[in-house]
Amino acid sequence: MTLNVTLNDGREMPLLGFGTWQIPDEEASGLVETAIGAGYRLIDTASIYRNENGVGAGIRAAGEGVWLTTKLWNDDQGTDRVRAAAERSLKRLGVEAVDLYLIHWPVSARDLYVETWQALIALGDAGLARSIGVSNFNEEHLDRLEAETGVIPAVNQIELHPAFQQRALCDYHARKGILTQSWSPLGQGSLLGDERLGRIAAKHGRTPAQIVIAWHLDQGFSVIPKSGNPERIRANYEALQVRLDDEDMAEIEAMDDPKGRIGPDPQVLS
Ligand code: A2P
């Protein structure tokens, strides 16, 4: 299984990362160290997760060579606010630059995401973010970024799991050279009792979580499963060893449900 992907800006990013949503700041450092010890080379956080201090400490303790992603929160959109918000994140993380900086949500109702994107482009030019991208954008949002700035995001991080596969948006990403990165890739754990996944897991001698992570990777998606448990953090990384066959892939593909969204709909979040 491929470990890295080349983004549309030419930089190489690990595909499998450790997600830290809902990990409290005081636990983040230890769990990030555990994740890096297990092999993860990408750590995903966000300003709104309120754990950038702990995540940064964990990364610094574990040494160089770990890809760090964080995200700009909605209140910090707009030309005047982006740079200061990014600098606050960098300070909490204890780094001079992040590998990837994402606009967390488009928040269409405020209509600031295009100028915010322009400000992220400037952050990239200033060296504060090595790559830039977005999260929870749909085709219409992405079209506007391209039309009005000429710069296509390297990544769109979206809710994606077997029960909510977003195929049209993923096809759009593929056409535009945007990497799809899956958040809540395990459906926040809710999918793991599904009997179809159980059958595939038994067939491979793996866990359902490993099967689902392998399904994301097999499609070339970056995937950032979260766990607060060291055993599961390590086991999830072992998904890189799993080889699914066409029958497995087809069976998981059939789990798609247009109403399977768990998180907010970017179309209505404001
Ligand atoms: P825990 O933190 O107790 O391990 P997602 O990444 O889709 O948001 O899913 C995260 C949820 O899935 C968390 O509740 C996490 O619980 C659970 N989870 C993560 N890995 C596993 C696993 N290998 N087996 C069972 N549950 C898991």
* HEC letters along 2-48: CCEEECCCCCEEECECEECCCCCHHHHHHHHHHHHHHCCCEEECCHH
Our answer to whether residue 49 is catalytic in this structure is yes
Q: Which atom of ligand 1 sits closest to the CA of residue 184?
A: 7
Distance 211 CA to ligand 1 centre (A): 13
- Distance from residue 226's CA to the centre of ligand 1 (Å): 6
User: Of 211, 229, 233, which is best to mutate to test ligand 1, by the most ligand atoms within 8 angstroms of its C-beta?
Assistant: 229
Contact status, residue 139 vs residue 178, Cβ threshold 8 Å:
no
pLDDT digits (tens, 9 = 90+) for 104-160: 999 999 999 999 999 999 999 999 999 999 999 999 999 999 999 999 999 999 999
Q: What span, in angstroms and rounded, lies between the C-alpha atoms of 64 and 69?
A: 14
Report residues whose beta carbon is within 6 angstroms of any ligand 1 atom.
19, 184-189, 192, 207, 209, 225-229, 232, 235-236
Q: What is the pLDDT of residues 36-79, one digit of tens each?
A: 999 999 999 999 999 999 999 999 998 789 999 999 999 999 99
pLDDT, averaged across the chain:
97
**Full-prediction pTM beyond 0.85?**
yes
Q: Is the dihedral of CA 182, 183, 187, 188 positive or negative?
A: positive
Tell me which DSSP letter residue 270 carries.
-
Sign of the Cα pseudo-torsion (145, 151, 152, 156, in order): negative
- Model pLDDT for residues 41-52, shown as the tens digit of each residue: 999 999 999 999
Q: Is the dihedral of CA 194, 195, 198, 204 positive or negative?
A: negative
Question: Would you say residue 1 has pLDDT above 70?
Answer: no
- DSSP-derived letter for residue 226 is B
Alpha helices in the chain (DSSP H): 25-38, 52-62, 82-93, 113-125, 139-149, 167-176, 195-204, 208-218, 230-237, 246-253
Compute the distance between CA of residue 182 and CA of residue 160 in angstroms, rounded to an integer. Answer: 5
pLDDT at 179 over 60: yes
* Active-site residue identified among 49, 101, 113, 237: 49
Q: Is the pLDDT of residue 267 over 60?
A: yes
* C-alpha radius of gyration, the chain, whole number: 18
